[in-house]
């Protein structure tokens, strides 16, 4: 297995993994539309949001992934603006607004000494093989290697007991000050 920064060619496969973490009964978009938006506006434009996406591969198959966001200003690119305009044209302004609203609910601009985990995903057929543990070990190693990082944070669905248990195993604790409707905010210092 190898861990590497996501390449453009990985974004389609990865969006298929990540969409399940964000798709629920009250999602106003079809799963296909949501997957496309995640791929085009979030994964492929991750640099605009100071986010680095890492993929864990077995041969060329993406079996796990996570994103890390660090401090800094959002960098609006021509590519991002063009994709936003195309998305609004394709799905209509109301649906685009709903997508943005739901996406921003758990996005976070971390403090200078904080590293934010935007998502952690494991391919369904690989669950139970300690892939989540391996991803968390890499995240925490990276946080220690970055100068000035003292906190790692994330949001987790309140109903995702498996993920909560994983994060607690790695020393994350709930911080109710930043809790939102369906999500716990967790930190590790």
CATH number at residue 177: 3.40.630.30
Write out pLDDT tens, residues 83-106.
778 777 777 777 777 777 766 666
pLDDT of residue 23: 67
Which DSSP string corresponds to 83-135?
Answer: HHHHHHHHH-HHHHHHHHHHHHHT-----TTEEEEEEEEE-GGGTTSSHHHHH
pLDDT (0 to 100) of residue 111: 85
Q: Which residues contact 148 (CB under 8 A, 6 or more apart)?
A: 112, 113
pTM > 0.75: yes
Q: Which domain holds residue 66?
A: 2-188
Q: What is the pLDDT along the chain (189 residues), one digit of tens a residue?
A: 999 999 988 988 888 888 876 666 666 677 888 888 888 877 888 887 788 999 999 998 999 999 999 876 667 778 778 877 877 777 777 777 777 776 666 677 888 899 999 999 999 899 999 999 999 999 999 999 999 999 999 999 898 899 999 999 999 999 998 888 888 999 998
Distance CA 170, CA 91 (A): 40
User: Cα separation of 168 and 175, whole Å?
Assistant: 12
Structurally, how many domains does the chain consist of?
A: 1
Tens-place pLDDT, residues 20-48: 766 666 666 778 888 888 888 778 888 87
Q: Are 66 and 17 in contact (CB under 8 A)?
A: no
């Amino acid at each position: 297995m190898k861990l590497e920064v996501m390449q453009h060619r990985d974004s389609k496969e990865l969006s298929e993994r990540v969409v399940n973490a964000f798709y629920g009964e009250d999602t106003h978009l079809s799963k296909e539309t949501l997957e496309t938006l995640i791929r085009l506006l979030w994964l492929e434009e991750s640099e605009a949001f100071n986010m680095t996406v890492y993929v864990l591969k077995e041969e060329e198959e993406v079996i796990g992934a996570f994103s890390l966001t660090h401090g800094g200003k959002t960098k609006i690119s021509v590519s991002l603006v063009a994709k936003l305009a195309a998305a609004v044209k394709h799905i209509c302004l109301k649906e685009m607004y709903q997508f943005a609203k739901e996406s921003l609910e758990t996005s976070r601009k971390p403090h200078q000494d904080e590293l934010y985990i935007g998502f952690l995903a494991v391919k369904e057929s690989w669950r139970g093989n300690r892939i989540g543990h391996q991803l968390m070990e890499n995240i925490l190693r990276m946080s220690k290697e970055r100068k000035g990082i003292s906190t790692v944070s994330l949001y987790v669905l309140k109903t995702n007991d498996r993920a909560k248990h994983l994060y607690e195993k790695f020393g994350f604790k709930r911080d109710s000050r930043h809790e939102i409707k369906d999500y716990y905010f967790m930190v590790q210092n």
